[in-house]
Amino acid sequence: MMQSLRNLQFRRVYSLGRSKADYCIAMYVLENDLSVSRLGITVSKKIGNSVVRSRVKRIIKEAFRLHEIAFAPGYDIVIVARRAARNKKSTDMEVSLLKLGKKLGIVKGNG
């Protein structure tokens, strides 16, 4: 079950965690002491207006939900959307999430 992160937890992940990025998103991860992973999503105003930002957040959240079982439990994960994310479909976001998760060693198997 996914939980969301608060501001202090975001900052902790940024400062102590590992990160990888591609053209679409940047992913920061840090182990937590819980049995579940927590997801945080950041979409700045540079991406677009509130409608566009909300759409990007929904797509990222759904892509993670669909593949949540592939991600190892016990991590705080922060996803930062980049400008290219504005035009991406959910399948593109799924590919980015899984690829970065594998690079960071938190995705098991084929995803």
Q: CATH number, domain at 26?
A: 3.30.230.10
* pLDDT reported for residue 7: 82
Report the C-alpha gap between 26 and 22 in whole angstroms: 6
Q: pTM of the predicted model, to two decimals?
A: 0.89
What is the count of structural domains for the chain?
1
Kindly state whether residue 86 falls inside one of the protein's structural domains. Answer: yes
Kindly state whether residue 108 falls inside one of the protein's structural domains. Answer: no
How far CA 83 is from CA of 25, 28, 90, in Å, comes to 9, 17, 15
Give the domain range for residue 42: 3-103
* Mean pLDDT, the chain cut into blocks of 10 residues (111 residues total): 73 94 96 91 95 96 94 94 92 94 87 47
Kindly state whether residue 110 falls inside one of the protein's structural domains. Answer: no
Give SS3 for 51.
Answer: helix
* pLDDT reported for residue 4: 63
How far CA 74 is from CA of 29, 39, 98, 110, in Å, comes to 10, 11, 17, 19
* pLDDT reported for residue 111: 47
H or E element that contains 18: strand 18-21
